[in-house]
């Protein structure tokens, strides 16, 4: 069921959440929230994304607010801590925000930093988490193949669970996967799934062992479930630095997957100093309860965006809604002709 644009705009709230630590180059995360028959939903493509890419995020928001809710298979979802590209001395304070998490995802290959910085950060994580902690690293496609091979070799001493998106292209991922196979370190694909015209190509190419799945960039829970099923690879459900409302959308996917072998990257609400609810979806004992989050008016008021940014998001949502609406009409015409 697709709502009218007026239904969406009637409850629109635009927020700007401050982060405790710079992440992806930002210190404030903006998001548009609105309420459908199912409850609150979120539209939060990053500000640099164009309308065509952002429209996919809007499809996910509309599905979560107005569409069918998937059947849940589990009542608890284990999640990882996320360690931004901070100095090694700051690692302990970051990990302290993630109650009971047994796994940490560590950002590496940050622009302006060195491999030595990455090694120091990962070493600090290992020291805090101890030998039983699980460490995965995320390069966000920051290395070429030779750099990735050198870095993975250097960091493998810390017993890596997997390496996420070490290189940009699918061909490079396939190459680095072959090069490090001797070390037994799996390669996970993120950008090669969520930003690809064909999210299944990375699986068909044998370029990854694990898929990182994010609901908004893939267009909703139903499409994400279908991608995982067709790919036939283990999936890690992760956030796109969402508010707790968007985390709830990711948790719905994680709860619906037939298999969930790895801790999910859904603990990122712990990176915010404020959220849109008095009951945020943050890790407790290393896990989240999959639930829908309602916007708390008083909490949202503390992080409400100013009038200029609210109008910017209103205009963006309106443009993206027109794209979604046009696609829906085209699909209906195709069905009628079939």
Say which of 105, 181, 195, 214 is annotated catalytic.
214
Say which of 105, 107, 181, 195 is annotated catalytic.
107
Q: How far apart are the C-alpha atoms of 95 and 82, rounded to whole Å?
A: 8
> Is 107 labeled as catalytic in the residue annotation?
yes
The percent helix, strand, coil of the chain (3-state, each to 5) is 45, 20, 35
DSSP 52-84: HHHHHHHHHHHHHHHSPPPPP--S-EEB-EEE-
Single out the residue of 306, 307, 242 nearest to residue 270, CA to CA.
242
Non-local CB neighbours of 322 within 8 Å, separated by 6+ positions: none
Single out the residue of 236, 231, 229, 286 nearest to residue 258, CA to CA.
229
Q: Can you state the angle between helices 51-66 and 307-337, rounded to 10 degrees?
A: 80
- Say whether 329 counts as a known binding-site residue: no
Q: How far apart are the C-alpha atoms of 314 and 94, rounded to whole Å?
A: 34
- Say whether 175 counts as a known binding-site residue: no
Please, which contacts does 304-311 make with residues 24 or more away whose CB atoms are closer than 8 Å?
304/13, 304/14, 304/15, 304/16, 305/14, 305/15, 305/16, 305/30, 309/14, 309/16, 309/30, 310/12, 310/14
- In terms of Cβ atoms closer than 10 Å to its own Cβ (0-12, 13-18, 19+), residue 301 is exposed
With beta carbons less than 8 A apart as the criterion, state whether 288 and 79 touch: yes
Q: How far apart are the C-alpha atoms of 166 and 172, rounded to whole Å?
A: 9
- Say whether 190 counts as a known binding-site residue: yes
Q: Which two tokens stand for residue 249?
A: 């959308």
Q: Which two tokens stand for residue 97?
A: 């925000």
Q: Which residues are annotated as a binding site?
A: 138, 164, 190
Give catalytic residue positions: 107, 214
Q: Which residues are annotated as a binding site for Mg(2+)?
A: 138, 164, 190
């Amino acid at each position: 069921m697709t709502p009218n644009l007026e239904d969406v705009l009637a409850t629109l709230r635009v927020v700007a959440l401050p982060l405790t630590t710079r992440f992806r180059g930002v210190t404030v995360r903006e998001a548009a929230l609105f309420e459908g028959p199912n409850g609150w939903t979120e539209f939060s493509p990053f500000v640099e994304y164009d309308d065509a890419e952002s429209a996919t995020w809007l499809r996910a928001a509309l599905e979560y607010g107005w569409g069918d809710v998937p059947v849940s298979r589990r009542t608890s979802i284990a999640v990882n801590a996320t360690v931004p590209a901070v100095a090694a001395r700051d690692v302990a304070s970051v990990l302290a925000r993630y109650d009971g998490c047994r796994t940490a995802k560590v950002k590496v290959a940050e622009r302006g930093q060195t491999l030595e910085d990455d090694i120091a950060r990962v070493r600090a994580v290992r020291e805090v988490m101890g030998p039983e902690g699980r460490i995965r690293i995320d390069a966000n496609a920051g290395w070429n193949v030779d750099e990735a091979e050198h870095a993975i070799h250097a960091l493998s001493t810390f017993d890596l669970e997997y390496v996420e998106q070490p290189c940009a292209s699918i061909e490079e991922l396939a190459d680095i996967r072959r090069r490090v196979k001797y070390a037994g370190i799996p390669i996970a694909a993120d950008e090669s799934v969520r930003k690809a015209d064909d999210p299944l190509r990375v699986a068909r190419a044998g370029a990854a062992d694990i898929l990182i799945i994010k609901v908004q960039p893939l267009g909703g829970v139903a499409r994400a479930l279908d991608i995982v099923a067709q790919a036939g690879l283990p999936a890690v459900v992760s956030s796109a630095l969402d508010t707790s409302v968007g985390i709830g959308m990711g948790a719905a996917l994680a709860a619906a997957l037939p298999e969930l072998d790895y801790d999910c990257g859904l603990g990122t609400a712990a990176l915010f100093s404020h959220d849109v609810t008095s009951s945020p979806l943050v890790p407790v004992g290393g896990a989240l309860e999959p639930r829908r989050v309602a916007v708390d008016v008083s909490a949202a008021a503390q992080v409400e965006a100013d009038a200029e940014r609210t109008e910017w998001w209103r205009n963006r949502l309106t443009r993206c809604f027109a794209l979604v609406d046009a696609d829906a009409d085209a699909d209906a015409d195709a069905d009628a002709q079939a």
